[in-house]
Amino acid sequence: MLQIDVVTLFPRMFDAVTTSGVTGRALERRLYDLVLWNPRDFAVNAYRAIDDRPYGGGPGMVMMPEPLEKAIGAARQRQKSTGVVKPRVVHLTPQGRLLDNALVVELTQEQGLVMLAGRYEGVDERLAGRVFDDEVSIGDYVLSGGELAAMVVMDAVVRQLPGALGDAESASQDSFVNGLLDHPHYTRPESYEGAMVPPVLLSGNHAQITKWRLKQALGRTWQRRPDLLAKRSLSAAESVLLEEFKKEGS
């Protein structure tokens, strides 16, 4: 069972992922375990303060290293008591590696994850070399804290766990798994506001349906995320399908 610990000032925020959806059902099925740690419980002063003004001046506050390191240490120790040899400690920060499908798969291979959801202007830099194994970003923008980023990582990782999804093939067919955006999806009715479901999807010819879906995925990626295609080496068959898509579009 995957062990996840999160160090956060706002544990209640995680009710969103533990009480509903795929992550909620996976927790009920004990596919993973989640423990939340509030660094205020590890504060070394009477006021339970975990932040202070930055040296050198400037706006905002910085999270102090000692309460965070103690909380992370407690999370590590808990995981080791469950049999996790070496939990991977991840700091959620805009300065980290950009989260993509490859990194999600990488994180899924871990026995345990300890995530730090920082707040304010950031955390004391001296923690980086002492406790973090990795730094991860979910995008080039700034959030009020790392909790939402931690939940994004959790959702992306948990849905990869065997048994988390109703259909065993769902995760393998997600966008980005093969380096492409997903193909278009349709359901009933066959006609909606004058727009019809593509005939090939009604044909029952599974080989043609698979070919059509791949062509649409290639074309949609070319239109919307050409940067993904630039990273991917297309096979000869995929190149032909992409050219067909371009000609049909023109």
Mean pLDDT by 10 residues, the chain (250 residues): 98 97 97 98 90 94 96 98 98 96 96 97 92 97 96 97 78 68 94 96 96 96 95 95 92
As annotated, the residues of the chain forming the CATH 1.10.1270.20 domain(s) are 175-249
Q: Superfamily for 2-158?
A: SPOUT methyltransferase, trefoil knot domain (3.40.1280.10)
- What pLDDT sits at residue 47? 85
- What pLDDT sits at residue 170? 59
Per-residue pLDDT tens for 101-130?
999 999 999 999 999 999 999 999 999 889
Verify whether residue 243 is a known catalytic residue: no
Could you give the 3-state DSSP secondary structure of residue 202? helix
Verify whether residue 94 is a known catalytic residue: yes
Catalytic choice (174, 213, 220, 244): 174
Phi, psi of 47 (to 5 degrees): -90, 5
* Matching residue, tokens 């009604």: 202
Q: Which two tokens stand for residue 171?
A: 């995760």
As annotated, the residues of the chain forming the CATH 3.40.1280.10 domain(s) are 2-158
- What pLDDT sits at residue 161? 96
Catalytic choice (25, 94, 213, 244): 94
Q: Please tell me the distance from the alpha carbon of residue 44 to that of residue 250, in angstroms, as a whole number.
A: 67
What is the gyration radius of the CA atoms in the chain, in angstroms? 22
Q: Which two tokens stand for residue 131?
A: 């406790």
* Matching residue, tokens 């009477």: 46
**CATH code that applies to domain 175-249:** 1.10.1270.20
Which DSSP letter does residue 145 get? B
* Matching residue, tokens 């931690």: 150
- Nearest 5°: the CA angle 186, 192, 195 is 80
Point out which residues pair with 89 in neighbouring strands.
114
Going 104 to 106 to 107 to 108, the CA torsion angle's sign is positive
Verify whether residue 188 is a known catalytic residue: no
